[in-house]
Amino acid sequence: MHGVALGIGIVFMSWIFALRRRAHWLEQSAPPSAAPPALALFAPQRPTVWLAVRAATPEAVQSALGLGRCAPCSWSEGMSGNHEFFISPQVHGWVIVTGLGLPNPSDDVDAVFIFLVALSRTLGHVEFFYADRLANHHGWARVDEGCVTRAYAWAGETVWNQGGLTLSEIELGLKCSSYGDDFVALGEAEANFEKVPMLAARWSLDPAEVRNFSARQATGIAGGPAGVY
């Protein structure tokens, strides 16, 4: 009887040990849980298209865009890109603008040119960045007092190439093909796409790298043209 009891005990302990090993394995192999809301609020966010405006107040940008029916908006909500326009609080002398109302080169590069030139005539120095992950379409531009000093955009082909390469573009190894250059390696387009945030960080700001807690806590402006927002 003692032998039977001992055998049952050994089997039972082995079963418990096996269950613990399985539980440990499941815990290790499970995907990481979502970040708590407090941390998710400050997770890096980078829109597909954005502007960086130098030495301007959010109110000046709002006026230049002709926005009406505006409302306060947090950084996290604004960077989601769901508003017609979101104007950030000033960060290190720059105001970030993003939203559905911004034109992009894949749709109409002429609209991008007209929009940037008009805005720059009012606000001075305006920078434009575009990086579409789905197709690796990309672009960037610098406009001063209504004059395009540098611009490049690729949307399956080069649709905008104006001005000489800047030092930052050269140092980052960005490849800017000429008009009519039909063959652009997919790897080259992808490399350019990946480097757009790096160029933004050198020229002005990469929105995803704004770590300053007070800047993210400050309230921006969300709105659209009168009757839109």
Q: Report DSSP state, residue 190.
A: H
pTM of the model: 0.78
Q: What is the pLDDT of residues 38-95, one digit of tens each?
A: 333 344 467 999 999 998 899 999 999 999 889 999 988 898 878 999 999 999 999 9
Q: How far is CA 157 from CA 31, 116, 147, in A?
A: 39, 21, 24
Tell me what pLDDT residue 6 has.
Answer: 41
Among 211, 200, 150, 210, CA closest to 176: 150
Greater confidence (208 vs 120) lies with 120
